[in-house]
Each structure stands twice: as C-alpha cells, then as structure tokens.
Copies of this chain bind each other. A is one copy, B any other.
Amino acid sequence: MTSQEYVTLDSAEQPGISIEELQLATRNHGMPLEALRYDVTPLGLHYLLTHFDIPALDPATWRLRIGGWVARPLTLTLDELRARPTVTRRVTMECAGNGRARLSPRPVSQPWLLEAVGTGEWTGTPAADVIDEAGVTPDAIEVVFTGADRGVQGGVEHAYARSITLDELRATGALLAWGLNGVALPPQHGAPVRLVVPGWYGMTSVKWLTSIDLTTTPFDGYQQAGSYRFRQTPDEVGDPVTRLAVRSLMIPPGIPDFLTRRRIVDRGTHELRGRAWAGRAPIAAVEVSTDGGRTWQGADLHTPSDPAAWTAWRAVWHADAPGETEVCCRARDTSGNAQPDTPSWNLGGYAVNAVQRVAVTVR
C-alpha cells in the first residue's frame, strides 16, 4: 500500500481492515464508550491520534518562536509562557475521522469506529494574547502552528502544521496549553505545550508546538490543503474540515460479549446515559430509540460544565420484551443541525456523524 493522499477500499472487494490500518489502530486509541460516564475524561482514556511519532522534547531547552508578519518576533521559554495569565477550560475534542471505518468504500487511514473523542481539562494561556504581544501586522490574515512531529504523508515530508485565521482564532478562545487534568501535559498529548482550539476537530489543535507564524496568504501545507478537506474526488479542492459536527454517543447498556461487543441487558427499567456535542451551536435536544429507530423519545439534558464541553443526557428505558433490538441516539443543535440516519460519504471520511446504533439482547 502506498501513502497516497487518499486511498479507499470497496467493501465488496475487501471487507477486512488492512495491516496498515491495523498498525494505526494499535498505536492510536479511542475512548472506550463506558468512559462517557466521566465529564472530564481520565488521563489515558482520552482519544489519541499521532500522525507520526511522539517526539521527545526537553521542557528545559524547549522554545516557542512567534514570528512571520509580526512587529516584534518573540521566543518564549516554558517558564515565560507559564508566567502569563492562566485559563483552565473543559474542551470536548473529536478526531475528524471518527466514524470513518464503517463507510463504504472505506477511506484508508486510522480506522475509527466511534471512540475518537474525549474531554480534557486544559490549562494554558490564550493564544491570541501571545500573538498580540508580538504585534500583528495589518496584512496578516492567518496563524500557522507547527509541531515537532515529523514524517511523510501523501508523499511529502513535513512537520505537522495547521493554520487558522486570526478572526477564527480569536473567536474560539484557543489556548496554548501546558496542563491536562491538573498535571503537566503527558508526552502523547503534546508536551510541553500544544494548541487547543475549542469547537474544532482535533487536527486543528497542534501538539508539540515549536512555532507560530503569522502569514498574509492562506497556508498550503499538506495537513491544510492536501488533507482534511471534504472531497468526493481527488481532483477537487474541497471545503476545509473545521468545526465539530453535532453528535451524541451513549454508554452501551448492560454487559458486553467480549468478542462481538454485543450487549446483554436484563428485562426491567434501565437508565440510558451519554453525552452530546456540537461545534457550531449548543446542543438543543437528544433523542433515544430502543426499537432500532422506529420510535424516539426525548432525553433529559444537563447544563454543560463549559460552553466547549459536551452535554450529558439521560433517558429511561423500560426493557419489557426479551429479544433482539437496537438502541440508538441522535442529537441536534440550536441552529437545527441534526445527526443523519445514514452517514454522508466523503473521500477522507471526515465528520461522519450518523446516529449511533447499539445491538442489544434483552433477556
């Protein structure tokens, strides 16, 4: 298998996951869905996608360079950054490829099913304030964040880098974060400092930051122009992947079968619980179905602990009839965006937010 920009497999031709995809799946990891019980995902359970290798950066010698179209280029040590005004926020983060592995034909990349999500309690300082201190020049329109992680993707060797417009950066309240859940960032989450962009898919939140550059033209690096675009064919430019599509997930009820993950639930009354999130507007409603999507009931919503954190929900299920069923959940936001019954396909497998369906045996 080559490292082309996009590779898809027709499930009729090759139903199984390839060794290349499995290599990614055993390195990276999702959040087991029972961890939806925690508002803040415990360390080690938050999803993790590393494009290349986890770099080993020494906090004592690490420097962050702010340059490009700024009046006063800056170079900051970790101590200098940590001496700034500190903000701690709960932010729900999701990989843009979450849900990709069930598409047909299947985009060949990290084969996420549903678990590429988590909510961290991130501590840092507003990125916009640091940039303002360097002095944004009038022509600057974008901010490019570059990490220390380096490799080849799409045939191009590069350090992982992404941009966001200055206006979008200010609107999100993005942080330069050095803490997660009350401790120093673990290596795999971008130590010593990473970007955290609330409301955007995870590819925007560059880890292992080494430089921030203001530019007067749109960034055309591989991870911006080559990847993370909504395309139907490889020759399209495509719209960029940006904010989180609305999604809800549930804690699978009952107990699992080890291999199939099918759930077994005793007859009786059960509470269905989960969380929902959306990057464009607050969650307006979550509905559950316990008959495979034929009928739906509203779930109770809790107030999120942060505007950028997921919304907990719960509903009651009277599981009276033994037999096989599917339990489903779906959310919509206050702008009317809703989860579709079936996923909409794109070449990279991005923002696949179809209704979750959990196979259950009631006994």
Contact = CB atoms under 8 A, between A and B. Distances in A.
Interface of A: 1-3, 7, 14-30, 32, 34-35, 37-38, 42-46, 48, 50-54, 56, 101-102, 108-109, 111-116, 150-153, 157, 186-189, 252, 255-261, 264
Majority SS at the chain A contact face: loop
B16 A18 contact: yes
A54 B25 contact: no
A259 B26 contact: no
A110 to B, nearest CB: 9
Given A16-B16, A43-B43, A54-B35, A259 B28 contact: no
Nearest to A53: B34
- 3 nearest A-B pairs in the assembled complex, by CB-CB distance: A16-B16, A29-B29, A44-B44
Given A152-B264, A153-B258, A259-B20, A53 B32 contact: yes
The count of identical subunits is: 2
Contacts of A187: 35, 38, 42, 45
B108 A26 contact: no
A109 B22 contact: no
Contact of A186 (B28, B42, B260): B42
Nearest to A187: B42
A115 B26 contact: yes
Contacts of A24: 259, 261
A149 to B, nearest CB: 9
B20 A17 contact: no
A22 B111 contact: yes
Given A3-B258, A17-B21, A42-B187, 10 more contacts: A16-B17, A20-B260, A23-B261, A25-B26, A26-B114, A32-B188, A34-B56, A44-B45, A109-B259, A152-B256
Contacts of A17: 16-19, 21-22
Contacts of A16: 14-18
A23 B46 CA distance: 16
Contact of A30 (B27, B34, B255): B27
